[in-house]
Chain A
Amino acid sequence: QKEVEQNSGPLSVPEGAIASLNCTYSDRGSQSFFWYRQYSGKSPELIMSIYSNGDKEDGRFTAQLNKASQYVSLLIRDSQPSDSATYLCAVKRSGNTGKLIFGQGTTLQVKP
């Protein structure tokens, strides 16, 4: 079992719809959770971070964290073709090391 798991997709949604991206993690000691967006051929770009249970909203993006279920999700409202990219879930464990453990990423396609 991978430490951070995502469905690789592709997830295809029509323009204007809500895209829902999911991620599960195995280490119960994990304390920080991140969503990065990566366009083809580019480097990852942080779009959301979440540290406590519940929802965190930023514009069209909402991150949701449920530590009991070891589950993180990202909702993108009013999806746009420019949102088409790979979304990487990353987890940081507790402790001194700052390393991020990434899932394999979910490819999102928003169709006009």
Chain B
Amino acid sequence: GAGVSQTPSNKVTEKGKYVELRCDPISGHTALYWYRQSLGQGPEFLIYFQGTGAADDSGLPNDRFFAVRPEGSVSTLKIQRTERGDSAVYLCASSQRTGYQETQYFGPGTRLLVL
């Protein structure tokens, strides 16, 4: 079946602008995660949704970052007043069930460049 999809694949924006990144999880997956990966580093957790609600948003770096998942499927990560330091690959992952044996499947990512 189809995997996790993310759009756009690349986004170039100017400092101070607003951006939205979209994630479409695997059908039927109730858990959805956003991570951010900088060059040469491992992914860094941002936020976790179980259904429509954010179960853990402890990784959001500041209040410029916000994410929603209104119908429990597609999620949008929103970044206000972008800064050059926000440049990274934003990865979305989904899983069918939670618990210690949960497997997260990653999408291809959105490469964000803030000029």
State the Cβ distance, A8 to closest chain B Cβ, in Å.
7
Interface string of A28-64 (1 = CB under 8 A from B): 0001100010000011111001010000000000000
Q: How many residues of B contact A (CB 8 A)?
A: 27
State the Cβ distance, A41 to closest chain B Cβ, in Å.
9
Say yes or no: A44-B31 contact (C-beta < 8 A), given A49-B103, A94-B100, A104-B40: no
Q: How many A-B residue pairs have CB under 8 A?
A: 68
Could you say which of A4, A32, A44, A49 contacts B91, with CB atoms under 8 Å apart? A44
State the Cβ distance, B96 to closest chain A Cβ, in Å.
11
Bound Cα distance from A107 to B87, whole angstroms: 22
| B101 neighbours in A (Cβ, 8 Å) | 32, 49, 51
Could you say which of B42, B48, B105 contacts A99, with CB atoms under 8 Å apart? B48
Interface string of B3-43 (1 = CB under 8 A from A): 00000000000000000000000000001010100001111
The 4 lowest CB-CB distance pairs between A and B, nearest first, are: A102-B42, A99-B45, A43-B106, A97-B56
